[in-house]
Structure 1
Amino acid sequence: MNNQMEYRRGRHCIFDLHVHLVFVTKYRRGVLNSEHIRFLAGVFADVCARFDASLVECDGEDDHVHLLVTYPPKLAVSTLVNSLKGASARQLRNRYSVRTHRNHLWSPSYFAASCGGAPLDVIREYVENQRTPQ
């Protein structure tokens, strides 16, 4: 990706929203290998496409995965997360015999952080300086 901003357009908005997600396996059990993570990346990309979102990057280790997703403003991150975790667990279980705890691959919690754009201090200063004294 180049350094130039690439905005997406909706019917009534222009946006560039990214979220960094981390899903941890139940009890942080090390059940994932590199083949599983490659398979999960495909599942995550398919789920994102159904929500008009895009999987930008995906990788992980034996007990967690990191995702970078760009998504439209109409989509709640929690809705996306629920679909990502549900579909990935179901499809991974169907494809591979992955050891899970009582058929639960993922911990019910997750990490989500907005990312991209300018640092908050820069944005705060920009907003504060909108009305200049005349």
Structure 2
Amino acid sequence: MENKYRATNTTVSLINYHFVFCPRYRRKIFLKSEVEKRFKELTEEVCKEIDINIVAMECDKDHVHLFLNTPPTFSPKDIMAKIKGVTSKKLREEFPHLQHLPSLWTRSYFVSTAGNVSSETIKRYVEQQKTRG
């Protein structure tokens, strides 16, 4: 069984967020598998840099699900700003068909804590998004 709790100095926390966000105009940017692959690599780099554990991550053609275990020092807004900012800039630099967009993501996102359902339930839900018809 994995340790879900974070211990930093004198703080022990269990903060899990489920995020869902979309590209501007619900563009189907993940139809090309190399965009999805690169998005996931960039997101992993950002999360590692700021000490966030990715519990589950899945992309559908026009949206992203992220289930993250975070330290108490970051708000959902801080997390989304960092992930969206880095991935938008890098993906638009690296993929010519995205370069014309002034920004890749909408300003909005959905966020929920894992308060009323287990982490395992949310992880299973995120992972099943690709297989849904």
TM (normalized to structure 2)? Answer: 0.77
1 or 2, which has the higher helix percentage?
A: 2
1 or 2, which has the higher strand percentage?
A: 1
Q: Against the structure 1 CA distance between its residues 36 and 112, is the aligned structure 2 distance closer, same or farther, given a 3 Å change threshold?
A: same
Counting aligned pairs with the same residue, the percent is 27
Q: State the Cα distance separating 1:59 from its structure 2 match.
A: 1.1
Q: Deviations over 1:78-116 (max 9, x none)?
A: 011001001001111122123366422111101111116
Distance of 1:76 and 1:25 partners within structure 2: 21
1:8 paired with 2:39, answer no
Aligned residues: 117
In the alignment, structure 2 segments of 5+ residues that lack a partner are: 119-133
Distance of 1:117 and 1:64 partners within structure 2: 24
Q: Hey, what does 2:128 align to over in structure 1? A: none
Q: Deviations over 1:25-52 (max 9, x none)?
A: 1011112233212211111111112221
Contact 1:51 1:80 in 2 (8 A): no
Contact 1:31 1:98 in 2 (8 A): no
Contact 2:30 2:60 in 1 (8 A): yes
Q: Against the structure 1 CA distance between its residues 70 and 95, is the aligned structure 2 distance closer, same or farther, given a 3 Å change threshold?
A: same
Q: Hey, what does 2:106 align to over in structure 1? A: 107
1:71 paired with 2:70, answer yes
Who wins on radius of gyration, i.e. which is larger?
A: 1
Q: State the Cα distance separating 1:56 from its structure 2 match.
A: 2.1
TM (normalized to structure 1)? Answer: 0.77
1:23 paired with 2:21, answer yes
Contact 1:85 1:106 in 2 (8 A): yes
